[in-house]
Amino acid sequence: MDSIARRFATVREQLRQAEITAQRPFGSVQLLAVSKTKPAGDIAAAYRIGQRHFGENYLQEALKKQQELAAFNISWHFIGPIQSNKTKPIAQHFAWVHSVDRLKIAERLSEQRPDYLPPLNICLQVNISDEASKSGIELTDLPTLIEQVGKLPRLRLRGVMAIPEPQQDYQAQCLPYRRLYQAVRHLNRSDLDTFSFGMSGDLQAAISEGSTLVRIGTALFGERPSQ
């Protein structure tokens, strides 16, 4: 078994055990392979062992990989910060966007999503730890943005994404996810079915608090080159 296949097997087993521990159904948490800075060959290798969802942070890098991997039926997720001048290619070339944090960006994605494509799946990024260095809206602003984005054509509002401040303590990892999950559920919106929570360091906590999708990179593809 090659290194990528071995890493994917390890992470998938970790997901399965986390689901069991959280008393979640098997397969209730989707694995999003974060492939930023990794070559198209690594993505192709992961695809051949069954991975279909890949997350990219850097637009130009992602578009190049999409051209190289056009023969593969990949679901591409954009998970990085979004500048207004980048919305058109994102709207044209991705199936999911996890990092919408203001109405202007959502409106541009809606206007620029081609009619021949399915609605673009949208998650709203919430700055759940109130970090000045992080993107995302404040939790108190979430209900308003949900209402606004939910009315836009050619978008399908799916849920929320969060990257809390890193914590070593398990309970401290759980708390921000719990706050956000409960806030969304309190809105009684059954259409909001996606909680993009969790990375390698807090996978168990995220799944215990309702994650439906975890974003894993280094544990699957190995260390990234230093910038």
Averaged over 206-216, what is the pLDDT? 98
Instruction: Band the pLDDT of 225: cuts 50, 70, 90.
Output: low
Q: Is the dihedral of CA 35, 40, 43, 47 positive or negative?
A: positive
Architecture of the domain made up of 3-221: Alpha-Beta Barrel (3.20)
**CB 25: neighbour CB atoms within 10 A?**
7
Instruction: Band the pLDDT of 122: cuts 50, 70, 90.
Output: very high
Rounded Cα distance between 152 and 143, Å, is 15
pLDDT in tens, 85-111: 999 999 999 999 999 999 999 999 999
Averaged over 57-62, what is the pLDDT? 98
In the chain, pLDDT over 90 holds for what percent of residues? 93
Which helix or strand (DSSP H or E) is residue 162 part of?
A: strand 155-162
Cβ proximity of 212 and 193 under 8 Å: yes
Find all residues with CB under 8 Å of 111, minimum gap 6, and list them. Answer: none
> Rounded to 5 degrees, what angle do the CA atoms 150, 194, 170 make?
135
